């Protein structure tokens, strides 16, 4: 889980739900994003040092070994992919690209030749990447696309901005709108043996249109992490604390 301290530094902590105890995974670094492996034993961290460019680290969640820095040349948005690969985003100074590499940082290669904007999520089997991609057509100037990690034709998920993510067991696929208001979420079943739901040929269009395809919205919170059960999930709860001072006025 992420946590921000009093100086607004985002950290990564590990919580034991059975005991309620939580511990900091990595100290002294600003964490911009992370991804946990399917086994739950490792995490990829996008680290922003106080000086220099963003980095990607690989950390063991049992903390038996220290985190290892893999690359440190402006890479971010890391995800575990198929065949022991790591997927990530890299900028060339003008545009962002989606790349893959081995666990030691070797074997870098572009997943697709065209640029992307953001990486939203990766399917648990590592075969599909949900990314926001610039487009230029009558529907929108950018769209959420499902990009095959091992090659093949991308599929448009929605036109415009939406956030796509999979349940850990890949039985459900979720879409959220930009505003992420409670109820503005589409829940689509994923057929057995597939990684993607049955999407319309021209994409679902918008979140509003996608709701017509969704049998069960199921989620009442704007930011959440799904579980295999659509009715059980972790969500973000934000609290703000303020101090009131009495100041004498001359």
pLDDT tens string 120-134: 999 999 999 999 999
pLDDT at 158: 86
pLDDT at 214: 59
Q: Is residue 246 part of a domain?
A: no
Of the candidates 91, 83, 33, the one whose C-alpha atom is nearest the C-alpha of residue 57 is: 33
6, pLDDT greater than 50: no
Residue 168: helix, strand or coil by DSSP? coil
Which spans in the chain are helix H? 207-210
pLDDT at 223: 67
CB 195, CB 125: distance < 8 Å: yes
Q: Do residues 210 and 139 both lie within one domain?
A: yes
Q: Do residues 68 and 16 both lie within one domain?
A: yes
Domain that holds residue 158: 116-233
Number of domains forming the structure of the chain? 2
Q: How many CB atoms lie within 10 A of CB 41?
A: 11
| Structure token pair of residue 12 | 């990564």
> What's the average model confidence in pLDDT over 214-228?
63
Q: Do residues 120 and 229 both lie within one domain?
A: yes
Q: Is residue 225 part of a domain?
A: yes
Q: Do residues 172 and 225 both lie within one domain?
A: yes
Q: Do residues 106 and 121 both lie within one domain?
A: no
pTM of the model: 0.84
Q: Do residues 110 and 135 both lie within one domain?
A: no
Q: Do residues 121 and 59 both lie within one domain?
A: no
- CA 235 – CA 221 distance, rounded (Å): 7
| Structure token pair of residue 76 | 């971010």
- CA 203 – CA 210 distance, rounded (Å): 9
E strands along 25-171, which residues?
30-36, 42-48, 55-60, 68-71, 76-80, 86-91, 96-101, 109-110, 118-122, 128-134, 142-148, 155-159, 163-166
Q: Is residue 248 part of a domain?
A: no
Which of 114, 143, 171 is a domain's end point? 114
Q: Do residues 94 and 134 both lie within one domain?
A: no
């Amino acid at each position: 889980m992420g946590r921000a301290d009093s100086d607004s530094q985002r950290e990564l902590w590990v919580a034991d739900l059975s005991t309620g105890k939580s511990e900091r995974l990595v100290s002294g670094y600003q964490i911009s994003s992370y991804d946990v492996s399917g086994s739950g034993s490792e995490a990829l961290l996008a680290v922003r040092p106080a000086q220099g460019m963003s980095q990607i680290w690989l950390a063991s969640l049992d903390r038996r070994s220290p985190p290892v820095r893999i690359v440190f040349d402006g890479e971010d948005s890391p995800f575990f992919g198929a065949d022991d690969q790591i997927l990530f985003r890299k900028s060339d100074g003008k545009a962002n690209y989606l790349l893959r590499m081995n666990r030691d940082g070797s074997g870098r290669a572009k997943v697709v030749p065209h640029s992307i904007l953001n990486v939203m999520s990766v399917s648990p089997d590592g075969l599909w990447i949900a990314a926001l991609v610039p487009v230029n057509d009558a529907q929108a100037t950018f769209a959420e696309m499902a990009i095959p990690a091992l090659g093949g034709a991308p599929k448009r998920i929605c036109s415009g901005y939406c956030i796509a993510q999979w349940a850990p067991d890949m039985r459900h696929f979720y879409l959220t709108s930009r505003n992420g208001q409670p109820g503005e979420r589409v829940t689509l079943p994923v057929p057995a043996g597939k990684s993607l739901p049955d999407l319309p040929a021209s994409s679902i269009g918008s979140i509003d249109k996608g709701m017509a395809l969704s049998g069960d919205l199921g989620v009442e919170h704007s930011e959440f992490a799904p579980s295999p059960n659509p009715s059980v999930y972790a969500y973000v709860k934000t609290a703000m604390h303020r101090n009131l001072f009495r100041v004498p006025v001359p």
